[in-house]
Amino acid sequence: MKKKIVCMIVCILFLSTIVGTISSTTKSTIILNEMPSGMSYTHTVFLEVATSQNCKPCHYWNQNINQVYNSGSYDFEYVEMIEFDHEGEVLNEEVKDWSNIYYIGSYPTSIFDGDYRRLVGDHPEQLSEKLDACGNRIVKDLTANMTVSWLGDAKINVDITIQNNEGTQYNGYIRACITEIISRYDTYYNEPYHFGFIGYAFPMNTAISIPAGSTYTNSVIWDGNEHQDNHGDDFGDITPSNIKVYLGVFNNANDYVDEAVMALITSNNPPNEPSSPSPTDGATDVDIDADLSWTCSDPDSDTLSYDVYFGNVSDPPLIASDIALTSYDLGLMNVEETYFWKIVAEDSFGASTEGPIWSFTTGLNDPPYVPSNPDPSDGATGVGINADISWSGGDPNPGDTVTYDIYFGTISPPPLLVTNHPNTNYNPGTMVFNTKYYWEIVAEDNYGENSTGPIWSFTTISNNPPNPPSNPNPSNGTSDIDIDAGLSWTCIDPDGDTLHYTVYFGDASPPPEVASNIQVNTYNPGAMNYNTKYYWKIVAWDENGASTSSPIWSFTTEQLDTKAPNVKITKPKFGLYLFNIKILPRIFRITKVIGTITIEANSTDADSGIEKVEFYINGIFVGNDTSEPYTFNWNWIRPRLFHLFIIKAIAYDNAGNTDVNRVIIRKYL
């Protein structure tokens, strides 16, 4: 992983995790292992170095570790935890508390990634192995960010976020070390330490608990005036360019670092001056609907916002604040007016730059275009009575709003029908057939300029009445018509109009009206009288009120049926039947039946037809049949010798007339 530092007035930090190694105490000279080409760590290693001002090896270790750090060959950050002064007295109580955690007994002692690795003494030849062991360690998937901003008077604002990318909750703690890049504390040989600790931004080992997929945030203002070392000296004299802040995220499970980041403070530059105005400075004939736009950038790539000053005076007033875009919509301006404007750019840290005052003059207002391209076209014929009218309009000034007055009628010049209509089309409603209409459009813009179109005309289509209703059912002149018959007919309209009907019906000619506004071409007159002549006609109407009548048709209903039907029992008859089979012809005076027999009867009616045939045995109803042949299946009975039965069949015709036939049989089983 390459070392990445992004500096603004707030510096964006590293995303990383940490490790450490065990070390020996033998003093040695500087020996550096160069990192193989293309190698990168899984995270940035977090290194805390226990040191002292009265320690000779600490002087050399400070030089050696800083030289390796500046080489850029290894991905790590470190902080010098300076515990004792030149007299051997405790220099910083927070460093002492940290030293007690790791049982520091010798100086220098380097703690890698929360004591994953440890190195005691000045041994640069072991540094690369310790860093590599830590840098290639598998760590929890966390993403940390830190921003540090200078508030002035030794005050620093520190904001941190830690995203847990794991599928389980993360439990741990943080240490955020505030350091001086060139430390106020020197070594045994009076050279300054690098990245010397002066305090914790948050309390040491602040506990954190982050649910899976969630983010931890925290913020603090650290005031150097409120912190001091054991000499009684506070840190109110710190300078922003000499401050570096380190954040380590420690895992509760093993106390090793899973993530580390760093942030610097740099000075902020104000935005560049706004430029490239549009409309250009001094421009004339500017569209009254023109927008303002400009160009602006920031040398630190900060996010910018803008205040817009605009008006018709040379010192224009503020009209909009905190605009995020480099453009502004003014709405409609006055015609032939000189306007002045300026832009003030401000970055996200409060630094601002004011642009020059620019000016421009708007142009004259043009009248709307003369309405043209009429639809229906001028002089058109055969126009539908529900047609819309439309035209071409608009205005040569893009920002102008145009409305239309519509004159429309059957006289020329036509009367005013609608004012301030916003569109270039209009529905005049249903017009009259075969009528000439005149119309005229007057266009007007929002400045009162208007243009009048010519008077146009068109003629509507003529309406054709429906064709005469035809194909009557019952047919004209027919007789013997069922008294429950319905009426039907056919009819079409040459214009395809929707039709409805008026029905005239009765036993006199001409027949009276019995129904109107019938939407279908059928009608049920109800039960009619027998042997009666009826007259009827149909008047068809189209949706435009035109109508056509059919001729008067007639038909005669059927005669009343008063004749009885005829019925004869054909089985069993004249013989001996054994289980439904005739085995002997007539040799007995009375027909004899043994076992089951199917009774059969024939029935006819020349007038209304047979409705049903009923069967009776000794006067008791046993069943009926409604279709020929008419039958009833007579099952066995208990054995009886010489028992007589009377079989009776009654036929009913559809007019209610009846006929009866009987036979006598002797049934044995």
Flag whether 242 is in a domain. yes
Residue type, position 165, single letter = N
- pLDDT for position 642: 56
The residue length of the chain stands at: 669
Q: Are residues 178 and 125 in the same domain?
A: yes
Q: Are residues 521 and 399 in the same domain?
A: no
Closest CA to 43 of 109, 113, 104: 113
Domain ends where: 524, 557, 590?
557
Question: Which residues, given as ranges, of the chain have pLDDT below 70?
Answer: 1-39, 588, 636-642
Chain centroid to CA 174: 42
User: Are the beta carbons of 261 and 178 closer than 8 angstroms?
Assistant: no
CA 629 – CA 601 distance, rounded (Å): 7
Q: Which residue in the block uniquely carries the two structure tokens 């109800």?
A: 526
Tokens encoding 517: 């506004």
Q: Are residues 57 and 83 in the same domain?
A: yes
User: Are the beta carbons of 548 and 537 closer than 8 angstroms?
Assistant: no
**CATH number, residue 497:** 2.60.40.10
Closest CA to 223 of 147, 157, 155, 176: 155
Phi-psi region of 14 (alpha: psi -120 to 50; beta: other; left: phi over 0): beta
Q: Phi and psi for 72 in degrees, rounded to 5?
A: 75, 10
CA 329 – CA 331 distance, rounded (Å): 6
Q: Are residues 346 and 404 in the same domain?
A: no
Closest CA to 655 of 522, 581, 560, 549: 560
Q: Are residues 206 and 290 in the same domain?
A: no
Flag whether 394 is in a domain. yes
Nearest-Å Rg of the Cα atoms of the chain is: 56
3-class SS of residue 79: strand
CA 463 – CA 28 distance, rounded (Å): 116
3-class SS of residue 57: helix
What's the start-to-end Cα distance of the chain, in Å? Answer: 113
CA 12 – CA 293 distance, rounded (Å): 32
CA 627 – CA 284 distance, rounded (Å): 104
Flag whether 127 is in a domain. yes
Domain ends where: 532, 557, 582?
557
Helices and strands, number each (H, E), in the chain: 3, 51
Flag whether 1 is in a domain. no
Beta bridge partners of 523: 487
Whether cis (ω within 30° of 0) applies to the bond prior to 572 is: yes
Q: Which residue in the block uniquely carries the two structure tokens 């007539």?
A: 586
Closest CA to 349 of 2, 8, 6: 8
Q: Are residues 405 and 505 in the same domain?
A: no
Distances (CA, A) of 287 to 335, 362, 365, 447, 565: 8, 6, 9, 14, 103
* List of residues 6+ apart from 333 with CB closer than 8 A: 288, 289, 290, 339, 362
3-class SS of residue 129: helix
Q: Are residues 422 and 444 in the same domain?
A: yes
DSSP strand pairing (109-112 vs 45-52) = antiparallel
H helices of 75-162, where?
93-101, 127-135
Tokens encoding 108: 């220098």
Q: Are residues 199 and 284 in the same domain?
A: no
User: Are the beta carbons of 451 and 371 closer than 8 angstroms?
Assistant: yes
Tens of pLDDT, residue by residue over 435-478, are: 999 999 999 998 889 999 999 999 999 999 999 999 999 999 99
- pLDDT for position 207: 97
CA 151 – CA 224 distance, rounded (Å): 11
User: Are the beta carbons of 102 and 113 closer than 8 angstroms?
Assistant: no
**HSE of 349 in the Cβ direction (CA atoms, 13 Å)?**
24
Long-range contacts of 506-510 (CB under 8 A, 24+ apart): 506/534, 506/535, 506/536, 507/532, 507/533, 507/534, 507/535, 508/535, 509/535, 509/552, 509/554, 510/535, 510/537, 510/552
Beta bridge partners of 444: 403, 450
Q: Are residues 422 and 330 in the same domain?
A: no
Flag whether 367 is in a domain. no
Q: Are residues 519 and 587 in the same domain?
A: no
DSSP strand pairing (283-286 vs 358-362) = parallel
Q: How many CB atoms lie within 10 A of CB 143?
A: 14
Sign of CA dihedral 606, 609, 615, 616: negative
DSSP 8-state assignment for residue 241: G
Flag whether 237 is in a domain. yes
- When divided into structural domains, the chain yields a total of 5
- pLDDT for position 637: 62
* List of residues 6+ apart from 581 with CB closer than 8 A: none
Flag whether 10 is in a domain. yes
Tell me which residue range forms the domain holding 13: 6-264
User: Are the beta carbons of 601 and 573 closer than 8 angstroms?
Assistant: no
Flag whether 339 is in a domain. yes
Q: Are residues 132 and 160 in the same domain?
A: yes
Q: Which residue in the block uniquely carries the two structure tokens 């060959």?
A: 73
- pLDDT for position 306: 97
Q: Are residues 326 and 244 in the same domain?
A: no
Domain ends where: 442, 460, 478?
460
CA 625 – CA 377 distance, rounded (Å): 76
Sign of CA dihedral 604, 610, 612, 617: negative
